[in-house]
Structure 1
Amino acid sequence: MKKWVKQIGAASLVAMLSACGTSPTGRNQLLLFPEDQMSAMGQQAFTSMKEELKISNKRVANSYVECVARSITANVPQEVFAGQWEVVVFDDEQVNAFALPGGKIGVYTGLLKVAENQHQLAAVIGHEVGHVIANHGNERMSIGTASQLTTQVVGQVLAANEVPYSGPIMAAMGLGAQVGVQLPYSRSHESEADLIGLTLMAQSGFNPQESVSLWHNMDAASEGNRPPELLSTHPAPSSRIQNLQANMSEANALYQQAPRRPDCK
C-alpha cells in the first residue's frame, strides 16, 4: 500500500475521533462542523425557502402555530439557541414541518389537517426542534462526509494494489454505506427526536398521549405508501408508537409538573 494512502487514512481517523460528541440520550455522535457554521447554513436555507415558497397569509393559522411553537421553544436549552425563534407557516399541502439550526421553524399548512389539535401539533414541532437539540443535521452531514472520505481512501487502496473487480466492490460499498450506516442513523435520529419531542411537549404543558394519536393519524394519511422500514429513513409508525408508549410514564409525570397549560386556538 502506498505511503500517502496510509497517511490519508490515518489523518482521516484522527480528525473523526477528535470530533466525537454525545447526544441528549447518551448516544455517541460524529460532529465535524462547528455550531456557528450550522447556524449560518440553517439561516441561509430558511431565507431561500421564504423566497421560493408561498407563505400563508391566514392570520388565525399563523397565530395558532406561533402559539404552539413559542410554548415549545421556551423550554429549549439556551445553549442550543438563545435568541427568538422565527416561525413561518408555508401555504403548501405537504404534511410536514421542520426546524433548522439558528432558530428557524417551518410548518406546512397540510400538517394542520392531520395534527388535529394543539397537542398533536406540539408533538410535531417538538420532534423537529429535537433534531436541532440533538445536532442531527451536523451528524448527518458528518456521516456523509466521513463515508465519502472512507470510500475514496478504499478506492485508492484498491487501485494501488490493482485489486480485480474494484468497480463492483466500490459500488457495493456505496450501497452498503447507505443501507448499513446512513439509513440506520437516520432512523435512530427520528426515534431520538421523537423522545426529545415527547419530553419537550410534556414540559411545555401539552398532553404527551396525543403524540400516539398523531402517529395513528399520520399512518392513516400515508395510505400505506411507505417503503419497508429497512430501506426507509423513518421508522414505521407502529415502531414510533411503541417507542413513545415505552417512555410515556416519564412524559406524563413531566406533563403533570408543567407550570402552565397553553391554550392555542
Structure 2
Amino acid sequence: MIKNILLAIVASYILLFAGCGSVPVTGRKQLSLVSNQEVLNLSLQQYGEFIKSAPISSDKANTALVQKVGRNIATAVETYLKNNGYADELSSYSWEFNLVKSTDVNAFCMPGGKIVVYEGILPYTQNETGLAVVLGHEVAHAVAKHANERMSNQMATQYGTAAVGAALGGTSAVTQQIAAAALGLGTQYGILLPYSRKQELEADKLGLIFMAMAGYDPSSASAFWQRMSQQGGSTPEFMSTHPSDATRITQIQKDLPEALKYYKGTPATKTNSAKTSDKWSF
C-alpha cells in the first residue's frame, strides 16, 4: 500500500516537472508527456496517407495564393521564435500548404506544419487577408502543439500514472494507440478531431498575432468570422467544434489590441523595424 502511494507521488512529480511545456507568446502551461518527434512521426504518416488520396485543387491562382500566404506567416513565425528563445523549436516544422478540391468549408493543420485548405472556404476568406485569418489560426495550432497536448491529456486521463513511464520513454504501444484516436484524420471530413474550446480560443489569439507579424491586418478577423456565421444551412465543419460565433468575435475584439502591436504594414511594404518591447524583427 505504501509502495503504491510512493509510486503515485513519484509519477505525479514526473507529470508536474518533466511533463510540462509552455505555449509561445501566451506562455500558457500545458501537459506534454509525448516527445515532439514521436508526435511528428505519427502525424506525418497519417498526413502522407491522406494527401495521396486527396483531390488536390487544379486552381493554380488560388493554390499559389494559399502557398504565398502560408509561407509569409510561417516565415514571420519562425523569425519570432528564433528571436525569442525558441530557436530549438524550428526543426519541428516542415511547412506545407495544400489546397484541396472540395466544397467543404474546411481547413486543418497536422503537427509539424502540414496545412490543408478546402476550396469551399475561399468564398468566405474572399481575399488574401481573409485567407491569412484561416492560415494564421491553423499555424497557431502547430506552434502551440495542441495535438501534443491533446494526446498527453488523453493519455493521463485514460491510463493515469501507469502510462507516464511509457510516454516519456520514447515510442510505445500506448502512445501509438492514443495517437490513433487523438491525431487520426476523420474519414468523414479529413480533419483532426476537435480541439478543446480553450485551445481554439488560443489559436484565434495566436492567429491574430501571427498574421499581424506577417503584415496582414488582424482587424479583418472579425469580418471573416461574421461571414462564416451568416452562411445558411448546417454549421460548417470548420466551425462546428469551435466556440460560438458570439464568444469568438467578442474574444477577438479583446485580443486585437495586443495583435496590432505586431502589425507593421502589408507583406510587400513591411520594414525591418520593430518595437523593442515586442522582441520581433526580421
Q: Does 1:236 align with 2:235?
A: no
> Compared with structure 1, are the counterparts of its residues 113 and 261 closer, same or farther at alpha carbon in structure 2 (3 Å cutoff)?
farther
Give TM-score scaled by structure 2 length.
Answer: 0.72
Secondary structure of 2:242's match?
coil
Tell me the alpha carbon deviations over residues 195-225 of structure 1, each in whole angstroms, 9 at most, x when there is no partner. 1110111111111111101110111136564
For the 8 Å contact 1:101–1:132, the answer to whether it is kept is: yes
- The aligned residue for residue 259 of structure 2 is 251
Tell me the alpha carbon deviations over residues 153-198 of structure 1, each in whole angstroms, 9 at most, x when there is no partner. 9xxxxxxxxxxxxxxxxxxxxxxxxxxxxxx971110111111110
Amino acid at match of 1:13: S
For the 8 Å contact 1:203–1:258, the answer to whether it is kept is: no
Shift of 1:247: 2.0
For the 8 Å contact 1:98–1:128, the answer to whether it is kept is: yes
- Percentage identity across paired residues of the two chains: 35
Amino acid at match of 1:243: Q
Structure-to-structure mapping, 1:203-214, within 5 angstroms: 203-214=213-224
> Compared with structure 1, are the counterparts of its residues 145 and 96 closer, same or farther at alpha carbon in structure 2 (3 Å cutoff)?
same
Question: What's the Cα RMSD here?
Answer: 2.9
Shift of 1:30: 0.3
- The aligned residue for residue 120 of structure 2 is 110
Q: Does 1:146 align with 2:145?
A: no
For the 8 Å contact 1:81–1:102, the answer to whether it is kept is: no
Shift of 1:99: 1.9
Report how many aligned residue pairs link the two structures: 228
Q: Does 1:14 align with 2:31?
A: no
Q: Distance in 2 between matches of 1:118 and 1:85?
A: 19
Shift of 1:256: 3.3
For the 8 Å contact 1:30–1:143, the answer to whether it is kept is: yes
> Compared with structure 1, are the counterparts of its residues 224 and 107 closer, same or farther at alpha carbon in structure 2 (3 Å cutoff)?
closer
Q: Which of these two proteins has the greater Rg computed from alpha carbons? A: 1
Shift of 1:42: 2.6
Amino acid at match of 1:36: Q
Runs in 1 of length 4+ with deviation above 6 angstroms?
none
Amino acid at match of 1:150: G
- The aligned residue for residue 52 of structure 1 is 53
Give TM-score scaled by structure 1 length.
Answer: 0.76
Q: Distance in 2 between matches of 1:59 and 1:211?
A: 25
